Amino acid sequence: MAVGYGTLYGDLAGGLSVLGDVYKTQVYALAEYINRDAEVIPVNTITKPPSAELRPDQKDSDSLPDYDILDKVLFEYIENRKGPREIIEMGYDEKLVRRILRLVNINEFKRHQTAPVLRVSHKAFGMGRRMPIVGKYLS
């Protein structure tokens, strides 16, 4: 949801977004927790590379940074409210940070049209974090 990696009226549609406020790395941790005693979630759905499956052999990593890095940059920007310079000063690649933050900002229009999100973080999208759809506010 943060970077707009979803299809309006497709996988972003619905009455309630249960995982909309959960980072991808947290989704994997939740799946492993659910499977701690027995296989409830098929292991293949956890271990296979994430994909939007819009074309053959497509993987999320073809167009998005590794989720371990992506989630950390998103956390600093969204929840810790750090700007690009602050995140870059933390040691992250400048080009990567600017790309990730751009994805967050240009996809606000999608978040305005998605289902309400169950809030589990300190700074969830929705009423907790609304930005102008056409704002050019990121330096």
SS3 126: strand
Q: pTM for this structure?
A: 0.83
- Can you give the pLDDT at residue 137? 54
Q: Are 71 and 24 in contact (CB under 8 A)?
A: yes
Location of structure tokens 């933050």? 101
What are the beta bridge partners of residue 99? none
Q: Which CATH fold would you assign to the domain 6-53+64-130? A: Rossmann fold (3.40.50)
How confident is the model over 110-119, as pLDDT tens digits?
888 888 888 8
Residues comprising the chain, all counted:
139
How confident is the model over 27-39, as pLDDT tens digits?
999 999 999 999 9
CB atoms within 10 A of CB 93: 13
Q: Are 108 and 9 in contact (CB under 8 A)?
A: no
